[in-house]
Every structure is written in C-alpha cells, then in structure tokens.
Structure 1
C-alpha cells in the first residue's frame, strides 16, 4: 500500500524532532492516542517499522530516517510553492519563528519587531527568548540570533553586527568601590557573571598594545539569564561584561559607566543563523534583511559583510 494521507507524515516529522509521540501530539494539537494511531497507520501502509520504541524515547529506524528526509524535503517544496504564489500577491503571510538573546530582545529588538509586523500585517511572530542556544534544525526555529563565534558548520550565517563586550558598572557602585585601573583590579571587585551555552562566563579577556591578559573573576551572584546581570549592574550590585549593543543605551543614559576603555575585548559579533540546505521562505528573508538594515543604522554597530 501507499501513503494515503501525506498530512500523516507530520506525525513522523514531529515525533523525530520531539523524541516522543506525546511531544508530536502537543506540537500538532492532537491527542497522543491519535498520534500513535497515525504512526501505526503509516507503518502498516508502508509495511515497514519507522521507529524503535522504548519507555523513554523513540528512535528512527533506517527506513524511518529515509522517509523523514524525503518528507521534510517534500513539505519544504510545498512551502516554497506557497510562498511564491503568495509573493505574487504582494503580501507576506505566515509565521516567522525567531530565537534571540534575552537582553538584546528587551533592549533593542522589541520595537523593531513591532515595526516589522506593522509593515506586514499578514505575518505572525513566534519568539523564543533566552540565552540557551537552540538547535535551529530540531527546535523549529526559522532564524536564530546569536552572539559570538560560530562552531556549527551546518548552519548558514549572516553577520548582522560587529560588537565587543563592554565592561560597565553603575555610578552608585563606583562611589563605593574605586574604579579598576587594570584588568587585574577586577579580582578585588564583585563581578556579575552569567551562563552562555551552558557555561559560566568567568574568564574575562582584555588586550592592550597587542598583549592579551586573562582574569578569572568571581562575585556573589551568577545567573542563566544575561539580562539580569545587566539589571544587577544598573542597581549597583557589581561589574558586568556584556555586549556593547546591550549596554549602549544605559551608557548613554548615564545609568552605567564604561570601565577600562583603553583596553580592547574580544570580538563578539551578532549573527542570524538559518538551517543549511533548507528553503528560506520570503517572510524569513524579509525579516533578516530588515534587521540587517536596522543594525547597520546603529553608529559603530553596523554589520560588515
């Protein structure tokens, strides 16, 4: 028998992504029983087992992996055709799924997203905010905005902005504690650190006259949401090292003060990441182009191809 309903393939795709039928059912808005029945129907029609079941997760069989690859490509081609038809009507429609760092979103991106949606009323935004890097392929993200160097060669990256970490503290903190004159002075300060990519960022690096120095800082608090490190710094709780894009508004307003300005820090570029080899809908391309123009208009923060 052949597959009678190609929509059933969505259960295959979401089960592979989520690892369980329960996850697939939640993503598709159906019951786990319905998802299980659909998968069994697919296997019966094909005469092949698509998953190896266990009490904890479901693992694709070689036959299941083959069908998954073709199913994903088939739905991408349908999405491409739909996008081209709708583009001919002059309007962008559909959902753009974006993952972005917490502070960048709150400080910079929110009004830009509002402007973009106002320009394209047929679009919806599904926004995932946090400093835990998502898997762009598995987590159903159309585009992820990420700081730092790129290690995943499977992804297509477009640089949006050149940035470096900035060392900052509030005027209130500096009234109580002498401002550091060298990176080693940070050992005497309360440094506000956060996790990035699952690791605490305690090793702060500075360069002067071509010579790099490293300081392993410490403090009385650490957080997995970098936006809270910024809020603690503004409240006078210590010194933080964060992207200058996140802090430039606070520096301009006087709520934070730049420290050690004569010392350079490591490049910390911002990229838009898209899955490699996957069709990029026009709505996603339009958002990335829009953000690139916005970052390019920031003095000193524009992207460099």
Structure 2
C-alpha cells in the first residue's frame, strides 16, 4: 500500500489510506510536539499504526484527534522523554505495550468530540495522572480502557491495584533483578533496591492523595500513615528523601508533607540542614512553616502550587 507524507509544521507524519480512513504509520521530526490532525485531505484519521512513534526521543507531547479508533502495538514505545498524551476516549482498539519504557509519562488526558463539532476533555487532569501512573508505575495495562477511565468502578480498580503494590513486600522482585540482570533500580545492592521500592510507594501514595477523586476514607488513612511512618527519624525515611530530592520542583509534595505533620520540632532543623543552595524555594517553605509554629492555617493558604 502506498505511503504518503504530511507536514505538520513540527515534523512530518507518514500515512496510508485505508477504506475506513487514514492510518498514521510513522513520524519524523526534531520538535517536542507531535500533533495528529483530525483529517488529511478528505479522509478522517482513524488509526495510529504499530510502532508509529517508536523511539521518538525528542517527543514530550503527542496529541491525537478525538475521532481516532485504533492504536497499534508499541505505537509510542521507547519515547523516553514523553510526558503527556492526549488520548481519544472513544478509541476502542488499543495494542500492547503502547507506552513501553516511557518512564517520564506524567499524564494521559482524555479527549472526545463535543456537541458543536469541537472537542472536550473526557476526564480530569488528575485522573489523567492516575492513568499514566497505572500504566508506567503499577504495570496495570488493564486500566488503559478509555471508555471507562474516571468512572467509580475504574477508580475502585485503580485503588485495588495501588493497595496490592503498597502492601507487597519491599524485597519482592529483588531475586529476579539479580538473576535476570534487570537494572530498574540501578544496582543489585539490596539496600538500594529497598530504598527505591519504598520511594516508589511514597510517590504513588502522594499521587493518590493529591488526586483524591473517589478515594475512600480508609484508603486515605492508610496512605497518609504510610507517608508519616517514613519521615525523618523513622526506621526508614523515604518520604523525606522524596521531598528533599523533588520538593523544589513539586511544591504540592511539600504542602502534603507538611500538612501531614511529617516535619516537627524534633526533625525540621535537620531537614533544613540537608537542603542544598540550589533549593531556595524548598528551604523558604520549611523556614516559613517553622516560623509560623508548624501548622498555622495561614501558612497553607499562602503556599502556592
């Protein structure tokens, strides 16, 4: 079948014309954004073929049209810098391993047609972050079902998977890593493996608390307690380690950490001493929290996200 080329301004799409519409078969470009149009010529774009965006190292964002119906295997695999995807909520044929090794994927937003022929968001950005985490962090590809995303049942399934991840032993998977030479944690050292495993749990717990749609009181309490039990001064300190490493760029982590009382008079001085000169916002936030006596309401009102 003859292959054509379509210039998007940010790069070029290769495509073929099938009876039901256009199928995107490839992408080439140096830009960070790939935007697939709704139509090419007189034909609607209805499919993205297998491996179409494979190894697009420059891509940080891919926007797909709301009328897309099918996405082939490995369509976005190995796009290592991909952060955001606009996914059609009506897409009913999804291939395997779409986001394989897309470790920076932060949000999968949903899009669907509106009554006026335009497009609207199919689920909230918060749910989009949960969907990305389900696929990338929790290996729950079964949650990649666009027509169900954001529903109460979908959120229930998400939380069941999260609970399984949180309650799994920290050492689980270590033997496989050593025997198979996996490098997910960068080391076969057991202590490093355990720290990385707990830090992953901390990030997932924070994400769910920050994106709290449909979160049950019992699950909220469990996640909050997990974070509190891993602050500085506890047997392991992964909650603090994540905030120290990422809080400068993620003020929402800082707000959650302080709001849960993870910093107190017994440990806040030590926390501040560990902060580097390249973390002025993090340091300022902790100093302000300390000066305002660890928890006055006006502190949180003034902490911008």
Specify if TM > 0.5: no
Q: TM class, shorter-chain normalised?
A: under 0.3
Structure 2 length-normalised TM: 0.22
Structure 1 length-normalised TM: 0.22
Structure with the bigger RCO (C-alpha within 8 Å, sep 6+) is 1
Question: Which structure has the bigger radius of gyration?
Answer: 1
The structure with more strand, counted as a fraction of residues: 1
